[in-house]
Homo-oligomer: A and B are copies of this chain.
Amino acid sequence: MSEKKRTSRDKLLDVTFDEVYRYGYCGAATATILKKAGVPRGSMYHHFASKKALVMAMIEERLSPKVRAFFDVEIDEDLSAERMIDVTIKKIAKNSMLIKHGCPLHRLMFEMGALDDEIASACEKEFDYLVGRFEKVLLIGIAQGHIKEGDAKAMAEFFITSSWGILSRTPKSSSKEQFLKDMEFVMMALRA
């Protein structure tokens, strides 16, 4: 497997992530992706059967790792659950793209939810992963007595969906300070 092969494919995936994040699935044009990646049409359709296939690969190889890197709680048994979540929140707050344009997974999931089952399912899979991770942390928190007793999975889903909503304001009206203030409310609902 040559370096060039991977390079061309990788460029396509990188640019596709950016374009879909910015303009959505419908708004992202293959012609633009091709131009920005500096890759000819034939190469794209050699590597991917269709625009949809390109986006499905992008979800798995770009969006998923990025989202996990930012939204995932790093579990550290030595820390309190509250501290682990706090670190995650601060990490999100530091990423200005997330603050201004929201979570890319949320964007795609919300747009495609009713339009394409396969893309929606791929997004849901990521959502479920994040929920699972947060659930684990919340269970630790409940055991530690820092988090309210109750359905940890439901709490995790509340945490992620409400965070997504908080992050989904217009770039103009969103800010790091606003986000942190709102997340404080979210935590109030979960703390024991």
Chain A residues at the B interface, C-beta cutoff of 8 Å: 22-24, 26-27, 100-102, 106-107, 109-111, 113-115, 120, 123-124, 127, 151, 154-155, 157-158, 161-173, 178, 181-182, 185-186, 188-190
Check B155 against A185 for contact (C-beta < 8 Å).
Answer: yes
Besides the contacts A101-B113, A163-B165, A165-B167, what 16 more A-B pairs have beta carbons closer than 8 Å?
Answer: A22-B114, A110-B110, A114-B171, A120-B172, A123-B170, A151-B181, A158-B182, A158-B186, A161-B165, A162-B162, A165-B165, A168-B168, A185-B190, A186-B189, A188-B188, A189-B189
Q: Is the interface of A mostly helix, strand, loop or mixed?
A: helix
Determine how close the nearest CB of chain B comes to the CB of A156; give it in whole angstroms.
Answer: 11
Measured CA separation A96–B125 after assembly (Å): 24
Closest to A163 in B: B165
Closest to A187 in B: B189
Partner of A170 from B22, B107, B124 at Cβ < 8 Å: B124
Check B106 against A168 for contact (C-beta < 8 Å).
Answer: yes
Measured CA separation A184–B108 after assembly (Å): 27
Q: A23-B115, A24-B24, A110-B102 are in contact. Are A186 and B162 (CB under 8 A)?
A: yes
Q: Which residues of the partner chain B approach A169 to less than 8 Å between Cβ atoms?
A: 109, 113, 127, 161
**A158, A166, A182, A186 interface centre (most CB from chain B within 10 Å):** A158
Measured CA separation A190–B182 after assembly (Å): 11
Measured CA separation A124–B170 after assembly (Å): 8
Q: A23-B115, A165-B163 are in contact. Are A157 and B182 (CB under 8 A)?
A: yes
